Chain A
C-alpha cells in the first residue's frame, strides 16, 4: 500500500462558535451536505478505499445514528475516537494512531473544500522522495457581508510567510507572523543554497499534508509537538537546512532504530543503489553552484500552490458563507431536491439549493440561498443571500437578507432579518419586529425574543442564556 488517508475531524471550530456550539463542525451543513462529506468525496474520487477518521464520540454517534447525516461514501471509514476534553492537537492525534499507520500518510482536515488535483501534491511527494508535501492556494477575498460582524474585518490577522524556490515547488521557509518578533529572519545557509527565493503571503494553507512514515514515528518519540501546522511543518522546513545535513537526521535515526537488523541491511543495500542512481543520473534540481542534487540534503519539503480552482477551509463564518455559495459547483446534483414540495408560484433563483423534504409555499422568492432539509417556508417570504439550515420554520411575510439561520429556529410572522445570525432553536417574535443589521441572536433552547430597534444592542425577554 502506498498511502493511507487520515481525516482529522476532531476540531472544535473555535472560530465560529456561533455555529458550532450546537452542531459539531464536521457536521455543519454546507450546500445541504455535512462538511465532512467534502474531503471524503475528494479522497473517494481520487481512488482511496479506506480512510482513518479521527473524531469525537459525539460526531461518531451522530454519523452512525442520524440518517440525515448519512454519508453516502463508499469507502471504508475507520472511526477513531478521542476524548473531547483532551485538547489534542493534530500531531497528538497522529501520535494516537501511530500503530495503525503502516505506510506514508495523507493527512486531510475535515473543513477542506477543494477541487484540487491531488496527484500534483502526491507526485511531488513520490518523485522527489520528499518528507513532506503540502497543498496551498491563493487566498480569495471574501465578498459576502458576514452577519454579526461589527465594522470591517481586521486585516491584521496573522499572516503566513511562505518562501519557495525558483521553481515554485520546493518549500524553503515558513513562518507565521505571530512567531516573528520584528522581521522575517532567513538563515544564510538557505540563501547560500537557494539564492532566489520567492516569499508569498497571500496563501491559504489547505491543511493537506503527505508525510513519510518516519515522520509519524518521529512524532511518537517527540511528544512536545502537538500541532502539525503550527509546529511540525515549520520544524521540518527548518530541518532541511540544519547543520547536521550530512549526518543522518533525527528522523532517519529513529527510522533505522525501529527496524530490525536484517532490515537495516536491506535498506542500506537499497540506499547504495539509490545513491548509485543519483550519481549516474545527470539531473540536478538547481544550478550555479558545485553541490549535488538537493545539496546532498536528505530531508525535503515540497508545496503545490494552486492558482485556480476552489480551495477553502471552512473555519470562520465568512468562509462558511463563501463555501455555501460555491458548494453547488462541486457536485452535480440538482439544485432542487426531488422530494421537496415546491409550489408553482414561487421564484427560486438558479443558484439556490433546496434540500430534501422542504415545503416552499406560494409567492416566495428565494435567491442565492441555501435552504436546508425539512424546512418550511410559508407564503410571501423573501429569502436573499442567506443560509437556512435544517428544520427551520419561516412564517409568512418574512424578509430574510444576508443571514444565517441555524437549525430548528423559528422565524415569526413578518420578521425582517437583515445580516443577522440566528442561533439554533431560537425564535424571532412576530409582528413587525425588525432585527437591525449586524446583530447576532444567539439563543440556547427556545427563548422568545422581542426585538426593539436599537443599533448595536439586543434586548431579550425571557431568555435563559445570553451570549454576546
Chain B
C-alpha cells in the first residue's frame, strides 16, 4: 500500500502542473521503454545494471521545480540514491532479484503514474486557492522496493489533519500536547513555534510516572537551552537513555527487544515536543533502536542491559570523542602559522580543534563572529580566551569589514545533508557566501554521525522556530517590542538553522578524512553498507 502525496508549490502554478506532469509522464514512459530494452541486454552485469537502476529512478522524478516548498525528489544525478531512503538502498546490492520483477513492476508503475496524474488533475480542480497544502510527490521510482517516506509531522503544522493525527498519537502515549505561541510569519506557518514561558511540564503531573524522570529533566534542559549544540544534545540524550535502560524491567510475557523500543517511543515524542530533534539525535536513536531489536530473545535481561549500556558508551566514544580527535588531527594540518581564522557562533568541534592546535603551538589568531539573539559566540570567545588564544569579537554585521583580514573560515555543522548542503546555525550560509566572495577558503568540520539522509535546498521547508520573545531586548529599562502581539502587521521570526550550498564550501573535514562536499552521499552509502 502506497501513500502518495502531491506537492503543489504555489497557487499560480496549479493549473499548469497537471499539463506539465502529463507531458512528463509521456516522456517518462518513453524513457522507461528504452531502459527496459537496455536492461534486458545487460542483465547479467551487476555494475552497469546498478547504474541503470540509478538512472531510471532519476528519469522518473519530476524536474526540480524552482520553488521553495519542494522537498526530497529534486533530481540531482549523482546523489540520486539519496532521496531513496535506506531500505531502498538494499536493492542496489541485490541486483538479480529485482530484475525479473522489473517488467511487472514497471507496468504497475506506468499504471500508477497515470492514476496519479489523474488524481493530480482532480485535486488541482478542487482546491484553487490554498497556497501550501503541504502534500508531496512520491514518485513510484521505488519500483525495486516500494518505500514510503512521509513528510514528518513537525513540518506540517498548518495542515489540521496532520495536527489532529499528532494529537491523537500523543494522547495515546499520554503525553501532553504543547500549544503553539504567537503569530507565525506566513512563510513559516508550517513549523511549530513554542514559548519558553510555557514549558511542557506544567501539563504533566509532578512526580512524573508516564515519562522517566531523567527524560523529563532532559526535555526541560532542551527547552530552556541549558543543553544546546548538536553534540551536547546527543550525549545528553544517550545519557538519559542509559538511565532509562538501567531502570527498565521487562514485563512478563514480553520480549525486551520489542518492549523496550515501544517504551522509548513516547519518550522520543516528549522530547520532540520540548524541542524538535536534531539530525544527530535522530541518528543516535536509530542506532539504539537497531541495537535493541538485534538483541537475541534468549538473552537474559541483565546481560542484555549491560550489552546495551556498553553499546551506548562505545557509540559515544567512537562517534563523538574519538571522531573529534581524528578531525582535530586532520584540521591541524590545515592550520598554518600566522593564520587568521574566522569562526561563527559556538561549535564544540571547532573550539576543540582550535584549542588542540594552540596546544600544538601553532601561531594563529581567531576572529569570533556572533549574531543575535543567541549570542553563542560569547561562550566560544570565553573558552578560547581562557586557553590563551588571542581573539577578536565582531557581530555578523561587521563581516565584510573583517573578511579581508581572514585567511580561513572554520564552520561547524548541525547536519550534513545528502545533497551536500550544510545545515548549521542561521548565519552560516551568509558567512560562507561572503567568504566565497573574498576568496577565503571555507572549511566545514562535521562528524560522520551527523550525516543525514535528508535532502534540502533551502531553509524554508524544514527548520526550527525559536521563541519569538527572545528577539525582544531591553535597553535602559525600555523594551520596544514589548507589545508586539498587539500590532497586527508585525511578526517576529526567530530562525534557528539555515542551509549552505556546497558551492560555498571548499572542504569538509570528517573523521573519515577530508572530503569535498559532494562526496557526502558516498559516505552515506558506505555507512549503509557497513550497517
Contacts and interface: CB of A to CB of B under 8 A. Distances in A.
Interface string A244-266: 00000000000000000000001
A280 B204 CA distance: 29
A68 interface: no
Nearest to A117: B202
B380 A284 contact: no
A48 interface: yes
B220 interface: yes
Contact of B224 (A46, A117, A118, A127): A127
Contacts of A46: 205-206
A359 to B, nearest CB: 42
Contacts of A2: 206-208, 213, 216
Contact of A280 (B208, B232, B243, B380): B232
A169 to B, nearest CB: 11
Contacts, number: 105
A269 interface: yes
Interface string A94-130: 0000000000001000000000011100110011110
Nearest to A129: B217
Nearest to B346: A282
A127 B206 CA distance: 13
A292 to B, nearest CB: 9
Given A2-B216, A126-B216, A273-B316, A280 B231 contact: yes
Given A47-B207, A118-B206, A280-B229, A274 B239 contact: yes
Contacts of A48: 205-207
Contacts of A118: 206
Contacts of A127: 217, 220-221, 224, 226
Nearest to B230: A280
Interface string A122-150: 11001111000000000000000000000
Given A48-B207, A277-B232, A280-B232, A128 B348 contact: no
A46 B206 CA distance: 6
Contacts of A274: 239
B243 to A, nearest CB: 8
A277 B239 contact: yes
A344 interface: no
Contacts of A461: none
Contacts of A128: 226
B379 interface: yes
Contacts of A269: 313
A281 B229 contact: yes
A270 B246 CA distance: 12
Nearest to A126: B217
A290 B385 CA distance: 8
Given A127-B217, A280-B231, A3 B239 contact: no
Contacts of A276: 235, 316, 320-321
Contact of A270 (B208, B217, B224, B242): B242
A283 B225 contact: yes
Contacts of B380: 282
Contacts of A117: 202
B376 interface: yes
Contacts of A106: 206
B242 A123 contact: no
Contacts of A468: none
A122 B221 CA distance: 13
A269 B313 CA distance: 9
A192 interface: no
Contacts of A123: 199, 201, 220
Nearest to A124: B220
Given A126-B217, A282-B348, 13 more contacts: A1-B207, A1-B209, A2-B216, A47-B207, A119-B201, A122-B206, A127-B224, A127-B226, A277-B239, A279-B232, A282-B346, A283-B379, A290-B386
26 contacts: A1-B213, A3-B207, A47-B204, A47-B206, A48-B205, A119-B206, A122-B201, A122-B206, A126-B201, A126-B220, A269-B313, A270-B239, A273-B239, A274-B239, A276-B320, A277-B227, A277-B232, A279-B232, A279-B348, A280-B229, A281-B232, A281-B348, A282-B345, A283-B226, A283-B227, A290-B386
Give me the 6 closest cross-chain CB pairs, A-B, nearest first. Answer: A47-B205, A281-B232, A282-B346, A2-B213, A280-B232, A280-B348
Interface of B: 199, 201-202, 204-209, 213, 216-217, 220-221, 224-229, 231-232, 235-236, 238-239, 242-243, 246, 313, 316, 320-321, 345-346, 348, 376, 378-380, 382, 385-386
